Structure 1
Amino acid sequence: MDNVIKIPVRALAEYVYRSGSIESGFRTATSFTEGSRIHREVQKTYHENDISEVFLKTDILYESLQFIIEGRCDGLLLSDGNTTIDEIKSTSAPLEYINEDSNPVHWAQAECYAFMYLQDHDMETIDIQLTYVQKTTGEIKKFQRTRSRIELENFMMHLISTYAPYAKLVYEHKLSRDLSIRKLKFPFREYRNGQRQLAGSVYKTILDGQTLFASAPTGIGKTISTIFPSVKAIGEGILQKIFYLTAKTTTRQTGEEAFKLMADHGLEMNVVTITAKDKVCFTAEGKCSKEFCEFADGYYDRINGAILDILGTERSLDRPCIEKYASKHMVCPFEFSLDLAYSADAVICDYNYIFDPKVSLKRLFDEQKKKTVLLIDEAHNLVDRGRDMYSSAIEKIHFLELKRQYKTKSKAVFKSSKDINDFFIKIRKQAEPAKTIVFTEVIEEFNKLIEQFTEHAEKELLKGMDGESALLLDTYFSAQNWLRISKLFDDRYILYAEIERNEVVLKQFCLDPSLLIRQAGKHFKARSFFSATLSPMAYYKDMLGGQAENYVAFIPSPFSKDQNEVAIQPLSTRYHDREKSIQPIVHTLNRTIKSKPGNYLIFFPSYQYLNSVLEVWSMLSGDIPTIVQGSGMDDDQRTAFLDKFQAKNAGTLVGFAVLGGIFSEGIDLKGDRLNGVIVVGVGLPQIGFERDLIKHYFSRTGKNGYDYAYVYPGMNKVLQAGGRLIRSETDTGTIILIDDRYLQGKYQSLLPELWRDFSIIE
């Protein structure tokens, strides 16, 4: 039936009964959870006739909509002669802070289950119990109520009638959306070479519930070729939602443009973009509590109205749109975008909302995931981003400062901070005179100290925030993340400490994120990892959690060798040879732009190398306009830099930039906006402690550790930088690769086919 609205008990209860303000991040972290371990421990105490995890379901017809509400109640207690619905909640807060009315959502969930049970049984009353469990101590606190059949019927009608306007809006939107999708044609006159193949690969991946790794060249239109078949799958009922995941703002904008293009051709879809909190915060302070922010104060009292308003009026829920409605309804724009993500047909956001255990959208139920596709753009970036997401560091200096701050204020926080600081001192002495020390296994004693610290910090923070609480809150979050990562720690991790004078940093470093990436995505309907530079494919498939049965697509380039002139200058750019290389690099740049004036980007492996060449270039280049990438450029500075590259420029413009930086991928300078790219070096990451740990790990697992740690990530930067040049079938230009290693077989095998017909600069 088309008019069926299926909703889990928890989602219905939260929609109607969530109220109040966004609290400080601390209160969010210490909120009630549904920890399965604690649930099982409570359920083990049930009597013989009691039943755990009881599936309950009800159908209610309301205003021509058929509501199917279902869920699992934690316990059905039958042993004492009465019938009791038991709802279990665990919390890290002390139970003295929990009272009967701490969270109306919990009672609402339990009463939903009670109503469902009474529907199926000839009973007039039923008991309801909330069981709260303190996660650390195991202490239990219970509250009980008795409800009659008529009370529960009235309660359910209140829930349904409150939820119905939203449900009706979603239902009517779905009808118009699906009709628009059925009419939608590919939004260009024809497919480019390779686009149809990529679109077909993505569609089959969705149809089969598979994982796809697609290497598709820059310039063919990967974004529309992945989104369009996903949209079609929604119209056919195969999917309900699309997540378009990116690493950078530029690729998020490309995703927005693709959906807007289809909207111009008749598509009616709700598409939300999640922008980072620090960029959209109206107060620019990021303090999410009613004391500091009027948009957090009473947020949950206003959010349902804001969602109904924006979804009833808009389709493209990008940053300006969300900010407009957030301001109108006085709600936090960041939290607003997260709430909209659960309602939208498509979500454009950073990788971390799916893959990062600290950030992920946890209210996505498995049932929703089974109807959702992940489109992971520029997927090569997810390898190192994954390492960052699944790693955790903790610093001595914070506990030393907390020890000083809380000496007279809180004995528990003082002692806990002192114990951790003392442990760091012990590590420092153990390492002397070395600056690093690698541990062969998890330090359980340290993890226990961190756990104790979080307990004491929680109790202190629950008293309220003051001038000294900011450090305690930040350190608490670091400690929570440490404990979260410690549960993932296995042989794919390594634990090490870095010592710099009195400071000690301990880090759980994820060497191989592949398993965790695969686990984060496994409950979704399908996953498509795509990039112009998934090369070598075996490496990226391995590092992104691929398996033998996954699909692989190689899309040939639609461009010809005649479009770019490639040259290699066999010059050593290794660290100890860089001084000698400066003059030849400047000479090559000068000769190139004199013979072919135009707009050029020259990429360097580091700012230091860039500045050394820039110094000589500035003395010899005369009046040739030159612009330079600065470190930490904001969006406006980045835009100003790119705006200098215009096809109408008279003469030559040279841009100095860093390989792997904001200008070496994700930018689109078509036609004569860019006439040449020069890449200095082979992009290898700087030799360092962590990279060597990665190298040794993969060598131990039977792979080429040096290639995994250095060569493949480095050459990916080169391919991305060179890919800025040819963006369409009419683009032409020059690519110069400066390094003698480009003449070695290993490096040549990693170059695109179109680059292999090169000349050599003597």
Structure 2
Amino acid sequence: MASDIHISVRTLVEHVFKSGSIDARFRSQTALLDGTRIHQKIQKTYQDGDQKEVLVSTKIEYDGLTFTIDGRCDGLIFHDDKITIDEIKSFSQPFDQLEAEGYPVHWAQAKMYAYIVALDKELEEIDVQLTYVHVETEEKKSLRQTYTFLELTRFVMEVIASYAPYAKLLNDHRLKRNESCRELAFPFKTYRNGQRKLAGAVYKMIVDKKNLFAKAPTGIGKTISTLFPAMKAIGEGELNRIFYLTAKTITRTSAEEAFSRMESCGLCTKTVTITAKDKVCFQEETNCQKDICEFANGYYDRINDAIFDILSNENQLTRKVIESYARKYTVCPFEYSLDLAYSVDAIICDYNYIFDPRVSLKRLLEEQKKSTALLVDEAHNLIDRGREMFSASLSKEPFLQLKKEYKGVNQTIYDAASKMNAWFIQLKKSHESQKEFVLEQLEEDFLEEIRQFAMISEQVLPLDTSPLLLETYFMVNQFIKIAELLDDHFIIYGEKERNNLKIKLFCLNPSQLLQQMGKGYRAKIFFSATLSPLPYYQEILGGGKEDYALNIPSPFSEEQVEVFIKPLSTRYRDRERTKNAIVTVIQSLLKKRPGNYLIFFPSYQYLLDVYEQFKLADDTTQTLIQESGMTERKREDFLAAFKPDQTETLVGFAVLGGIFSEGVDLIGDRLNGVVVIGVGLPQLCFERNLIKDHFASLGKNGYDYAYVYPGINKVLQAGGRLIRSEQDHGTIVLVDDRFLQRPYQQLLPSEWRQFTLI
């Protein structure tokens, strides 16, 4: 039986005919809207009886495959007993730059529609028209050809023949993949306590098309417990693709290792890891222009061969593998990884490729989402990341600089920047006595002015190389986008910084937008060791009443960890006074229980103060210190120093909520103890207080939402570094008198509540 390949006309012809270079120079943000507007304008000129947005579909057998090809034709024009296919294309470059004969990819799209219509209506010949319209001038150019049905049939079969090897490669792989997923056994000898329960719940959610919020303890093996059932669901035809979403590089590595382990047990799957553009770029300075970057120049001429080669020979498309093939074919490694994402079974990437409206993978169609599951690792991080993605700010400073830069150079930019600068000056004067202030709303006049600034910039930018103008334009554009989302979940505030003034559209509660961006996917699995309290995370991450929550107890025994609480004040006002007492606690611990320790502090400055005091009291113990802005190499060196069976004590000083308090696996004797200084409360600030007031106004405990829950999360993450397997033993010391208060006690894991008071 022939395998069915479903593909749209546009996807098919773009695969075969797309050519040229990546060019990330300025492109108008309104291009899509302009395109829609122009399509509608041209379609309004059609006569009675003509048809627009016509759905067409056909099936073609080729080389053991059945291709179902469909699409939406812009127009069918009936005139003088003839039918003309009309394909409308909007165009923003100067008209003299338009190819005289039109573009092969556009002709191919129109000819595919012509073939399907001619076949359907049994026509011997049909006219094909390309209508190019300039987005600004609305100048129109039409190109027309007549084709016989025989010519179109020959053309279509050539297109299918070009695409078939790639389609066959994907199809053969999927058959192998599905069989290997069905036969795959759990890749460890036994399940840890709670692992089977989590894996079962994930599988059930995917089958039932539901969402899950799972609090699963550190060390249980969450990565394999979510990926394994997802692969089993692919084998049963419930899923076709998964996204493994994470905020940190280190957890991406865990996902890659889990796939390697399953592969060694017989799994046949293709995975891609997407690494941020600035990290993976081969050039010293990221500039995606064909005349500057050889990897951007002619990218689309080489990309199909690069994709075919890597998919024919590799299963795990990690950063290293992608870089090696990218060099072989001279293609941009970042764009390469994005293009590969549409051909593989699993994508390991940052949250923003799904949830950030600016960078999400736009080509993932609604139909494909229905067979795609999202596995959201360390989901507690998504709250602040969500706030960040859905917020935007605008500052006075760039407009003042543009005013200076364009004086006597370009009057329109000068005037637009002057108006913006004047608006900020006026706002500053009306709030002279306040450093920070809340605005009830954005005046329509102001919004109109920033839209005008964006439009003027769009006209100037294609021929202008000013980095400041481009940067300001993107900032303004982002602001306009977020301004359209404003509702009760946002607050608008102003903040003065010396001579500068910043206006911020701040997303207080990202729940609705996270829900919106995740809409359409078959299942979403949010999991973390520290989704505590669960109802809070379920609410803020956009969960609904019909979603499921799962709380898995720790698989490790209470005997594995000994918890101590030292009731000292670590509040800001008391830090100087209790500094010596903290050093004494650390020294006493090291003396009684030598080994490898991590000590976590709520701020870098506090860390340095205690570190200095510690070194004065003890200059023999080996110490490491987390530096701000550590390179990946330095981070690796820091962790590599924690060796098992060391004869001398080693103490690492680190920041709560920083790079070493999450996703770090120091198994066995590599880590013997963790000391957490303070309850992790975020620093008191204007934004956190706005969050507090917002939730208080909804009848919630605003202080808990803004400070306590995010703080305790950092404490639990840091403590979770200690017990990672059934063999691990160690000591946790919590230093703060608030750990004895009932609200904090309730938030601690049950195995930490059997503590000894120091």
Aligned to 2:269: 269
- Is the CA contact (8 Å cut-off) linking 1:494 and 1:510 kept in structure 2? yes
State the shift of 1:334 in Å: 0.7
Q: What whole-Å deviation, never above 9, does each CA across 1:35-60 have from its counterpart, x for those lacking one?
A: 66775676566555344432211111
1:543 to 1:131, Cα distance in 2 relative to 1, 3 A: farther
1:226 paired residue number: 226
TM-aligned CA distance change 1:98 to 1:654, over 3 Å: same
**Which of 473, 480, 485 does residue 483 from structure 1 map onto?**
480
Corresponding residue of 1:18: 18
Q: Equivalents in 2 of 1:312, 1:35: separation in Å? A: 37
Taking the TM superposition and a 5 Å limit, the aligned residue runs for 1:126-165 are: 126-130=127-131, 132=133, 134=135, 139=138, 141=140, 143-148=142-147, 149-165=149-165
- Alignment partners' CA distance in 1, 2:665 and 2:379: 18
User: Which residue matches 1:608?
Assistant: 605
Q: What's the offset of the Cα at 1:87?
A: 4.0
Equivalent residue, structure 2, for 1:344: 344
Contact 1:52 1:74 in 2 (8 A): yes
Task: Tell me how far apart the structure 1 counterparts of residues 400 and 98 of structure 2 sit (CA, whole Å).
Answer: 32
Alpha carbons of structure 1 residues 609 and 444: separation in structure 2 relative to 1, 3 Å: same
Tell me how far apart the structure 1 counterparts of residues 301 and 269 of structure 2 sit (CA, whole Å): 27
Question: Partners of 2:741 and 2:41 in 1: how far apart?
Answer: 61
- Matched with 1:4 is 4
Could you report, residue by residue, the CA deviation over 1:393-420 in whole angstroms, capped at 9, with x for unpaired residues?
1222222222222233322222222222
Per the alignment, do residues 635 and 262 of structure 1 end up closer, same or farther by CA in structure 2, a change over 3 Å counting?
Answer: same
2:516 pairs with 1:515: no
* Secondary structure at the counterpart of residue 54 of structure 1: strand
The 1:560/1:41 distance shift into structure 2, 3 A limit, reads: farther
Identify if the C-alpha distance between structure 1 residues 372 and 147 changes in structure 2 by more than 3 Å, giving closer, same or farther: farther
One-letter code of the match for 1:125?
Answer: I
CA displacement 1:462-483 (0-9 Å, x = unmatched): 22x64xx222222222222222
Deviates more, 1:152-161 or 1:164-173: 152-161
Shift of 1:695: 1.1
**Partner-residue secondary structure (3-state), 1:737:** strand
Partner residue in 2 for 1:395 = 395
Cα separation, 1, equivalents of 2:46 and 2:354: 36
Match of 1:499 among 485, 496, 501: 496
AA matched with 1:71 = G
2:142 corresponds to which letter in structure 1? F
Rate the CA distance shift 1:759–1:259 in 2: closer, same or farther, 3 A: same
Quick one: which amino acid aligns to residue 343 of structure 1? S
Seen in structure 2, the aligned counterparts of structure 1 residues 98 and 495 have a Cα distance that, compared at 3 Å, is farther
Alpha carbons of structure 1 residues 455 and 333: separation in structure 2 relative to 1, 3 Å? same
Counterpart for residue 63 of structure 2 = 63
Using a 3 Å threshold, how does the CA distance of structure 1 residues 43 and 488 change in structure 2: closer, same or farther? Answer: farther
In the alignment, what sits opposite 1:369? Answer: 369
1:60-209 mapped onto 2 (5 Å cutoff): 60-78=60-78, 83-88=83-88, 104-123=104-123, 124-130=125-131, 132=133, 134=135, 139=138, 141=140, 143-148=142-147, 149-209=149-209
Say whether the 8 Å CA contact 1:82–1:127 is kept in structure 2: no
For 1:214, the equivalent position in structure 2 comes to 214
1:522-573 per-position Cα deviation (integer Å, ceiling 9, x unaligned): 1111110000011111110001100000111111210111111111111111
Question: For 2:624, which of 609, 622, 627 is the aligned residue?
Answer: 627
Counterparts in 2 of 1:3 and 1:672: CA distance versus 1, 3 Å: same
- Structure 1 residues 501 and 336: CA distance shift in structure 2, 3 A: same
Give the superposition deviation at 1:671: 0.6
Report how far residue 178 of structure 1 moved: 1.9
Gap change, CA 1:577 and 1:745, over 3 Å in 2: same
Taking the aligned partners of 1:196 and 1:729, their CA distance within structure 2 comes to 16
The alpha-carbon deviation at position 152 of structure 1 amounts to 3.0
Q: Which runs of 5+ in 1 are unaligned?
A: none
Classify 1:602/1:448 alpha carbon distance in 2 versus 1 (closer, same or farther; 3 Å).
same
For the 8 Å contact 2:2–2:64, the answer to whether it is kept is no
Structure 1 counterpart of 2:423: 423
Q: 1:433 to 1:336 in 2, by over 3 A?
A: same
Q: Report if aligned partners of 1:88, 1:133 keep a CA contact under 8 Å in 2.
A: no
Report the 3-state secondary structure (helix = DSSP H, G, I; strand = E; otherwise coil) of the residue aligned with 1:462. Answer: helix
Is the contact made by 1:625 and 1:652 (CA closer than 8 Å) also made in structure 2? yes
Corresponding residue SS for 2:591:
helix
Match of 1:724 in 2: 721
Corresponding position: 1:407 with 2:404? no
Q: Residues 539, 75 of structure 1: CA spacing in aligned structure 2 closer, same or farther, 3 A cutoff?
A: farther
For residues 660 and 470 of structure 1, what CA distance do their matches in structure 2 show? 34
Matched, 1:583 2:580: yes
Say if 2:242 is the partner of 1:245.
no
Cα deviation for residue 195 of structure 1 reads 0.9
Q: CA separation in 1, counterparts of 2:17 and 2:26?
A: 21
Contact 2:2-2:66 within 8 A present in 1 as well: no
Q: 2:596 aligns with which of 595, 599, 617?
A: 599
1:71 Cα deviation (Å)? 2.0
Q: Using the alignment, how far apart are the partners of 1:180 and 1:330 within structure 2? A: 34
8 A Cα contact 1:33 1:91, kept in partner: no
| SS of 1:343 mapped into structure 2 | coil
- Judge conservation of contact 1:93–1:458 (CA < 8 Å) in 2: no
Measure the CA separation in 2 of the matches of 1:220 and 1:589: 29
Tell me the distance in 1 between the aligned counterparts of 2:529 and 2:333. Answer: 33
8 A Cα contact 1:32 1:92, kept in partner: no
3-state DSSP of counterpart to 1:189: coil
Structure 1 residues 130 and 482: CA distance shift in structure 2, 3 A: farther
Change beyond 3 A, Cα 1:516–1:77: farther
User: In structure 1, how many angstroms separate the alpha carbons of the residues matched to 2:141 and 2:50?
Assistant: 17
Instruction: Return closer, same or farther for 1:624/1:441 CA change in 2, 3 Å cut-off.
Output: same
Deviation at 1:645, TM superposition (A): 0.7
**2:82 touches 2:126 (CA, 8 Å); kept in 1?**
no
Q: Structure 2 regions of 5+ residues with no counterpart?
A: none
Whether contact under 8 Å (2:530, 2:716) holds in the other structure is yes
Describe the SS at the equivalent of 2:119.
helix
Counterparts of 2:706 and 2:334, CA distance in 1 = 36
For residues 452-495 of structure 1, the C-alpha deviation after alignment (integer angstroms, 9 at most, x for no partner) is 222222222222x64xx222222222222222222222221112
Measure how far apart 1:288 and its partner are: 0.6
Residue equivalent to 2:461: 461
Partner Cα separation in structure 2 for residue 6 and residue 191 of structure 1 = 39
Q: How far apart in 2 are the matches of 1:222 and 1:299?
A: 38
State the AA in 2 paired with 1:294.
E
The one-letter amino acid of 1:491's match is: D
In the TM superposition, what is the alpha-carbon distance from 1:300 to its structure 2 partner? Answer: 0.7
Letter matched to residue 606 of structure 1: S
Q: For 2:238, what is the secondary structure of its paired residue?
A: coil
Aligned mates of 1:437, 1:108 — CA distance in 2: 57
Q: How many residues align?
A: 756
Q: How far did residue 276 of structure 1 move?
A: 0.9
Alignment partner of 1:618 is 2:596: no
Query: 1:110-164 CA deviation, whole Å, 9 max, x = no partner?
Result: 3322322222113321343436473xx6946453424423443333223212211
Q: Work out whether residues 518 and 544 of structure 1, in 8 Å CA contact, stay in contact via their aligned partners in 2.
A: yes
Give the counterpart letter for 2:549 in structure 1.
V
